[in-house]
A and B are shown apart, each in its own frame.
Chain A
C-alpha cells in the first residue's frame, strides 16, 4: 500500500509518520528544498492549550514530533503576554532534525518536487504529476499543501509577494489538489467579505539587535518593548491570522521571542519604524525578506472534509493542516496530520476510520472547526489551542489542563491509548 502526501509542512510530516507507523509505504513530496514550510519560521509550541494537545498526542501514540521538539527546544516553560508555559524551538535547525527522523523511519522524501497536476477519474485520485512531468501513483493521497499564497493571491489580497519562507518565486506556486479534482474549496476572511488573512509574525536577525536585547532574548527567551503611542494600531490585529496573538498587549508592545532568530510577534512592520525602537536600531528582516512590505496571505484554499479528515467528494483524498480548516499553528497541523496519516492507511485497507472523541481537545478542535463551516459557514473564526475563542472553549469544557497524568487518563478512558502506534497493514 502506498500513501502519497503532497506538502511537507508540519501536517505533511506528521501524516507521513502516522501512515508509516500504520504500515504503509509513504512518499512525501514537498515543493521547496526543505520540509516544514512555515515551521521554518514559526517556533512556538505548548503555549496555553497546546500543552494539553501535545500531551494528548503523546498519549495517543502520535508524539514523535512533540518529543523531538522538546528535546531540542531553546526555551521551555516561558511566559509572554497572554501565554503560559511555551516552548520555543530553534527554527534554523529544526528541519534537519525532522528530516533525519523521517528518513530513519523509511519515509521516501521528494523535496524540490512541485506537484503541478492531478489525474482524477470518477472522484478518485489516480496520480499526481510534478512540474517536470514525473508521475506519483498511490492508493491514497493526503493533501497538506496549506492555504497560503501563491503570489497572485498575495498580490490581490495582500501587499504582493513579500518573499516569505514558502518561496513561491523559486519553487512554484501552491496548488489546490482538491480544487484540481473539481471540488470547491472555501476561503477564510479577515473581515466580512475580505478574503485572506496576513501571517502574524516576522523574523529579525538576532545579530542585528543590540547586545543587551540579544542577551535578554538568550536568557529569558522573550523581550517586550513598549511601542511609542503614535505607533499603537489596534486595527492591525484584525488582519492577523493568529487570533491568540491578536490581543491588546501585542498592539501596545513589540514582543520578541527567541527562536534562533528574533521572532517579531507582529505582521509586516516598516523597517524604519522598527529601527526607532530601543535595541533595534540596526534591525534587519530575515523572514519574510520583504518584512517591511507584507506577509503571506493565508486561508484561501480550505477543503470541506469529514472529522476523519477525508475530503468531501473524493474517495481517496484526505487533508490536514490549514488545508483542512481555519487552523493556526504547528500543534494543530501535527494533530490533524497525524489523524489524516493514520486514516489514510485505514481507508486504503478498508478498515473503519478513526474519529477522535470530543472529550479530547485534539478531537474537539477538529469537530468544532468542521461544525463552524458546515453548520454556520463561519469563515471569520480561527481555531487554535493557544488562544482566541477556541482556548476559551477548552477552558469552559475543562479540556485545558497541564496535568499530564490526567491527560493520559482521559485518553485511556476514550480507549485510545497508543492508537497511533497500531500497525494496520
Chain B
C-alpha cells in the first residue's frame, strides 16, 4: 500500500469517512465546501465522487472483534502477548504504522488502548503486541493470561509518520534512532525495512526505562543495536548524534527513522535542515494521544496557525514539520 495524500485512510474501504460527510475531509477541498478541486492526494480516488456515489454518507467505520489471548509473557512490567484475530484484520494491521485499540472484555470503551502491532509473517491468524504497564489504562493487562478475551477495534494505520517513505524505501541504508518506549514500534520498522533489503543501523537511548525492558524486546527479535544518548543536559542533540547523522548523510543514507518523543523528532529534523540536507527522508512514530481513531472525539487534534484542525489519528503529518 502506498500512502498517497495526507490521510492514512484515503482511498481505503473506510473512505469517505465521517469527516468527508461533515465537511472536514483532510484531502478533498470540494466536500469541505470549496468551489474548486485542490486535491492533495495522488492515489487516483476522487473523494467527492465516492461520497456522491455513497449517497452523501460516510462508509462504515472500524468494527470491534473479540479475540482470545493465545500466549502471554510478563517481564519486568512489560506484557508481550498474542491474540487471535480474523485474517482480514491481521492483513490490514501487520504493516508499519498498523495499530489496534484493545481493552479487556469487561472494560468500558474508554479503556481502549492504542497499541502498535508487530510487523511479522502474515496469515497466522493472530497479532503480537507489547504493552508497558504504565498507567490506569494499561494496568488492565497486569494479570492478562492465556484464554482471556480481549476486545480489538481496528484496523488503524497512522501509528507512524512518513509511511510513504517507508513504503518506497528499497535496498538503501537506514538509520533508526529510538528512545525509551519509542523503541517498541521501531522494532517493527527495522524488521520491515530489512524485509525490503535495506541495511539498518539501530541506535537506542534507554531513557528512563529499565534497560531490561528494552533488551528483552530486542533479544526477542534478535536485533543488533548500539547504545547512544540522544539529548544532552541542555536538551540539544548530543555531538555523538550529530556526528552519526552527518556520517550517515555523507555515506549516502536515504532514510532516518526516529522512534522517540516529538521533541527529539523535531530536533533531528531541525538538524537535517541546519546542515542543508533535504533529500534524506524522515519517518517517526506518531506520538499523538489517540482515543477514537476515527477523527471524531478530538483527543488527537491540533489547530494549525491557519486554523486548520489536524486529526493526528488520520493525517500523515510530515515528520520534518513536527
Contacts and interface: CB of A to CB of B under 8 A. Distances in A.
> Do A and B assemble together?
yes
Interface of A: 31, 114, 116, 127, 131-135, 137, 149-153, 155-156, 160-161, 168-173, 175-176, 179, 187, 195, 300-301
Contact of A150 (B4, B5, B39, B52): B39
A316 B92 CA distance: 45
A134 B165 CA distance: 10
B41 interface: yes
Nearest to B37: A152
Given A173-B42, A175-B38, A187-B36, A135 B279 contact: yes
Q: Majority SS of interface residues in chain B? A: loop
Contacts of A137: 278
Contact of B48 (A133, A156, A172, A175): A156
A150 B5 CA distance: 14
A123 B43 CA distance: 30
Nearest to B320: A133
Contacts of A171: 42
A153 B37 contact: yes
B133 interface: no
B278 A176 contact: no
B279 A155 contact: no
A161 B279 contact: no
Contact of A172 (B4, B29, B47, B278): B4
A266 B45 CA distance: 28
A225 B166 CA distance: 56
Nearest to B39: A173
A153 B38 CA distance: 9
B164 A152 contact: no
B168 interface: yes
Nearest to A114: B42
Contacts of A175: 38-40
Interface string B185-225: 00000000000000000000000000000000000000000
B173 interface: no
Contacts of B37: 149-153, 155-156, 173, 300
Interface centre among A116, A137, A149, A300 (most CB of B within 10 A): A116
Contacts of B165: 132-133
B28 interface: yes
A161 B48 CA distance: 11
Contact of A151 (B4, B39, B278): B39
Nearest to B2: A132
Contacts of A155: 30, 37, 46, 48-49, 52
B95 to A, nearest CB: 18
Interface residues of B, number: 28
A152 B46 contact: yes
B44 interface: yes
Contact of B38 (A31, A135, A161, A176): A176
26 contacts: A132-B168, A133-B164, A134-B279, A149-B37, A150-B39, A150-B46, A151-B49, A152-B29, A152-B36, A152-B49, A153-B36, A155-B37, A155-B49, A156-B37, A161-B46, A169-B45, A169-B46, A173-B39, A173-B41, A173-B42, A175-B38, A175-B39, A179-B38, A195-B36, A300-B36, A300-B37
Contacts of A133: 164-165, 281, 318
A152 B42 contact: no
Contacts of B4: 131, 172
Contacts of A116: 40, 42
Contacts of A135: 278-279
A412 to B, nearest CB: 44
A168 B164 contact: no
A18 B45 CA distance: 36
B44 A152 contact: no
Given A116-B40, A152-B30, 10 more contacts: A114-B42, A127-B278, A135-B279, A152-B46, A153-B36, A161-B46, A161-B49, A172-B41, A172-B43, A173-B42
Contacts of B29: 152
Contacts of A170: 44
A151 B46 contact: yes
Contact of A169 (B38, B44, B52): B44
Contacts of A301: 36
A78 to B, nearest CB: 37
Interface in B156-190: 164-165, 168
Contacts of B49: 151-152, 155, 160-161
Interface in B30-89: 30, 35-49, 52
Contacts of A300: 36-37
Nearest to B52: A155
The 5 A-B residue pairs with the shortest CB-CB distance in the complex, in nearest-first order: A172-B42, A152-B37, A169-B44, A151-B46, A173-B39
A171 B279 CA distance: 22
Contacts of B38: 175-176, 179
B257 to A, nearest CB: 14
A187 B34 CA distance: 14
Interface string B210-242: 000000000000000000000000000000000
Contacts of B47: 152
A49 to B, nearest CB: 31
